[in-house]
């Protein structure tokens, strides 16, 4: 009998363990804790917090998370060794992800052991973990290349020795949906089965969904698909596929997906591909004139998932493909009312910028509109001077003097880098006038070399209003200041004036 989906698929999140194994990623215990809170809040069922045996920092993070009483199962990765299991139990974990190599390649080449030795280690580790009061998820590493008869035997006896759940690991991402549909069903008859996939050939999502459709009850996922090499199955893609394509409620608070994705990419420093499904910067952005026109009439024409569903907003980017409908919609959103003659004038300037290869930001559009409408306003904020101190023995510190609504103000702030420090100082200086938050910061080098022009794009929020603006200079700090000040001016002018 083929089971078509369990009632409610579970999510075992491994962002903090497999995701953290992404080359170059190290999370502090505090960062792990912050991500764990967000994971618990969004509704995942298990958080794999790390591997207790890996380092002192890992152990601290696991303790922080298990002590917090988040109400979400706190799991740690262990090898089939009493040492690992003791550390997990002492750190207060609820469960262990007990990983045992099961393919001959891993057993013989990596471990220099025999199937019998691995089998014996696995059984005594399961028994020991149960003695220590832990929930045990017994996991077969490289299961997709294992002798499936041996795997079935190991899993069956593992459950007889006390394992609560099982996990099939496609460690190197070589499963296909067809093989998944073949391998998974017999194992789900032994005990509840998790599926752990990697995305080396881009099949992680398809294999994970196939496993869930074949009777697996839990998906191992990472936020943004982080993980070694090409990464693990992306959490956001599984959730949205189940909800939108298979109409399977997950219980996950989908509207928090984008905030979680942003938190993880900020802490890990791993930027997403612009076209990454669901969470990439362009996933809900439209430029082409005809598409934008369709989306404005009925968003479903070119959007399979409404952006609000995952906590995002639709963006219409203007460029050479833009038509009058999308330019007019952007102008309306920015508070302008224009005649058709004015609109034609603005559109031709937008297209000209687009043809020069420029992205037309809100700030550019407002500058164009102000010129066309002859609305030239004095800026609310202007810079008098700023300086930044940064070095290997000092905390980056910025001091800034600027004029806000005609009043000269001076302030200083520290940050984790010179750009961060100067942006914080700017925010502090306007904070009694307006609460402006930096949502996104993006840098492009326009040409190569050390003297490259640096193009900084910032996204600023004031209440419900979000705008993007840009600064382009050879100096990254000056470019950042320029982008932030022009954005702040737009946000603050908005409230003081009624437009055209």
In the complex, the smallest distance separating the C-beta of residue 14 from Mn ion, rounded to whole angstroms, is: 7
Give the total of residues touching Mn ion (CB under 5 A).
1
Identity of the residue, 144 or 468, whose beta carbon is nearer to Mn ion in the bound complex: 144
Does 18 contact Mn ion by CB under 5 A?
Answer: yes
Three-class SS state of 397: strand
Report whether 71 contacts 37 (CB < 8 A).
no
- Which token pair is 41? 């809040």
- Torsion angle of the four alpha carbons 476, 482, 485, 488, in this order, in degrees rounded to the nearest 10: -90
Nearer CB in complex with Mn ion: 194/469: 194
Closest contact distance (angstroms) between CB of 213 and Mn ion is 21
- Return the beta strands (E) in 247-316 as ranges: 285-286, 315-316
With contacts defined by CB under 5 A, name the span among 10-18, 45-53, 367-375, 407-415 that binds Mn ion.
Answer: 10-18
In the three-class reduction of DSSP (H, G, I as helix; E, B as strand; rest coil), residue 173 is classed as coil
Which one of 13-21, 45-53, 394-402, 449-457 is the stretch in contact with Mn ion (CB under 5 A)?
13-21
In whole angstroms, how close is the CB of 88 to Mn ion at the nearest point? Answer: 18
Q: Please, what is the minimum distance in Å from the beta carbon of residue 162 to Mn ion?
A: 24
- Piece in contact with Mn ion (CB under 5 A), picked from 11-19, 109-117, 145-153, 310-318: 11-19
Q: Closest separation between CB of residue 141 and Mn ion, Å?
A: 8
Rounded to the nearest angstrom, the gap between the alpha carbon of residue 95 and the centroid of all alpha carbons in its chain is 25
Q: Are 398 and 425 in contact (CB under 8 A)?
A: yes
Kindly state whether residue 84 participates in binding Mn ion, applying the rule CB under 5 A: no
Residue 299 CA: distances (Å) to CA of 52, 196, 255, 321, 327 = 47, 35, 18, 18, 16
Per-residue x/- marks for Mn ion, 355-374, CB under 5 A?
Answer: --------------------
Closest-by-Cβ residue to Mn ion is 18
> Which CB atom, from 18 or from 20, has the smaller least distance to Mn ion?
18
Closest approach, Cβ 17 to Mn ion, in A, equals 8
Q: Which span (16-24, 97-105, 358-366, 390-398) binds Mn ion, by CB under 5 A? A: 16-24
Q: Six-digit token pair at 342? A: 């004015």
Nearer to Mn ion, 14 or 480 (CB): 14
Q: Check binding of 482 to Mn ion (CB under 5 A).
A: no
SS3 121: helix
Find the shortest distance in angstroms from Cβ 124 to Mn ion: 24
The rounded distance, in Å, linking the Cα atoms of 243 and 250 is 7
**What b/e readout covers 185-212, taking b as 16+ CB neighbours within 10 angstroms?**
bbbbebbbbbbbbbbbeebbbbbbbbbb
Site stretch for Mn ion (CB under 5 A), options 15-23, 117-125, 156-164, 256-264:
15-23
Are 39 and 48 in contact by the 8 Å Cβ rule? The answer is no
- To Mn ion, the closest distance from the beta carbon of 415 in angstroms equals 35
CA atoms of 184 and 461, how far apart (whole Å): 47
Stretch that binds Mn ion, among 14-22, 27-35, 262-270, 368-376 (CB under 5 A): 14-22
Q: Quick one: which segment of 18-26, 36-44, 79-87, 132-140 binds Mn ion (CB under 5 A)?
A: 18-26
Query: What b-and-e string marks burial along 358-391, b requiring 16 or more CB atoms within 10 Å of the CB?
Result: bbbbbbbbbbbbbebbeeeeeebbebeebebebe
Residue 169 or 436: the one with the smaller Cβ distance to Mn ion is 169
Which residue is listed with tokens 């200083």? 412
Beta bridge partners of 221: 13
Measure CA of the first residue to CA of the last residue in the chain; give whole Å. Answer: 68
Least separation, in Å, of the C-beta of 230 and Mn ion?
Answer: 11
Query: What part of residues 232-271 is at the interface with Mn ion (CB under 5 A)?
Result: none
Question: Which residue number, 18 or 482, has a Cβ lying nearer to Mn ion?
Answer: 18
Give the residue with the Cβ less far from Mn ion, 167 or 456. Answer: 167
Residues 445, 435 contacting (CB under 8 angstroms): no
Please report how close the Cβ of residue 309 comes to Mn ion at its closest, in angstroms.
29
Binding site for Mn ion (CB under 5 A): 18
């Amino acid at each position: 009998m083929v089971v078509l989906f369990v009632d409610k698929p579970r999510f075992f999140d491994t962002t903090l363990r497999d995701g953290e194994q992404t080359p170059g990623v190290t999370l502090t215990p505090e960062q792990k804790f912050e991500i764990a809170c967000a994971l618990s809040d969004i509704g995942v069922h298990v958080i794999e917090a790390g591997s207790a045996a890996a380092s002192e920092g890992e152990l601290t993070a696991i303790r922080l998370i298990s002590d917090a009483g988040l109400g979400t199962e706190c799991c740690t990765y262990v090898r089939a060794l009493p040492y690992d299991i003791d550390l997990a139990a002492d750190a207060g974990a609820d469960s262990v992800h007990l990983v045992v190599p099961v393919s001959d390649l891993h057993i013989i080449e990596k471990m220099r052991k025999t199937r019998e030795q691995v089998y014996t280690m696995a059984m005594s580790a399961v028994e020991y973990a149960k003695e220590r009061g832990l929930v045990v998820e017994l996991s077969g590493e490289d299961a997709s290349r294992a002798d499936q008869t041996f795997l079935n035997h190991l899993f069956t006896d593992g459950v007889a020795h006390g394992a609560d759940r099982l996990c099939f690991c496609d460690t190197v991402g070589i499963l296909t949906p067809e093989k998944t549909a073949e391998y998974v069903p017999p194992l789900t008859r032994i005990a509840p089965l998790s599926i752990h996939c990697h995305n080396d050939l881009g099949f992680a999502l398809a294999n994970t969904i196939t496993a869930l459709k074949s009777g697996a009850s839990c998906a191992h996922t990472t936020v943004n698909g982080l993980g070694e090499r090409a990464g693990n199955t992306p959490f956001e893609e599984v959730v949205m596929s189940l909800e939108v394509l298979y109409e399977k409620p997950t219980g996950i608070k989908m509207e928090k997906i984008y905030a979680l994705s942003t938190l993880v990419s900020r802490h890990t420093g791993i930027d997403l591909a612009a076209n990454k499904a669901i969470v990439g910067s362009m996933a809900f952005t439209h430029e082409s004139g005809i598409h934008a026109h369709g989306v404005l009439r009925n968003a479903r024409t070119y959007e399979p998932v409404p952006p609000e569903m995952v906590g995002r907003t639709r963006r219409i980017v203007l460029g050479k493909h833009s038509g009058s409908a999308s330019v007019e919609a952007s102008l309306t959103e920015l508070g302008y009312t224009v005649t058709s003659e004015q609109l034609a004038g603005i559109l031709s300037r937008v297209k000209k910028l687009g043809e020069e290869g420029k992205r037309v930001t809100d700030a550019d559009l407002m500058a164009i509109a102000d010129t066309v409408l002859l609305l030239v306003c004095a800026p609310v904020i202007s810079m008098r001077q700023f300086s930044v101190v940064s070095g290997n023995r000092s905390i980056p510190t910025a001091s800034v003097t600027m004029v806000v609504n005609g009043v000269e103000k001076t302030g200083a702030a520290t940050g984790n880098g010179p750009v961060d420090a100067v942006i914080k100082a700017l925010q502090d200086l306007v904070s009694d006038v307006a609460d402006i938050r930096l949502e996104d910061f993006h840098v492009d080098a326009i040409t190569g070399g050390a003297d490259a022009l640096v193009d900084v794009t910032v996204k600023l929020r004031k209440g419900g209003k979000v705008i993007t603006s840009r600064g382009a200079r050879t100096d990254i700090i000056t470019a950042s200041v320029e982008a932030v000040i022009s954005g702040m001016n737009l946000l603050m002018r908005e409230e003081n004036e009624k437009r055209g």
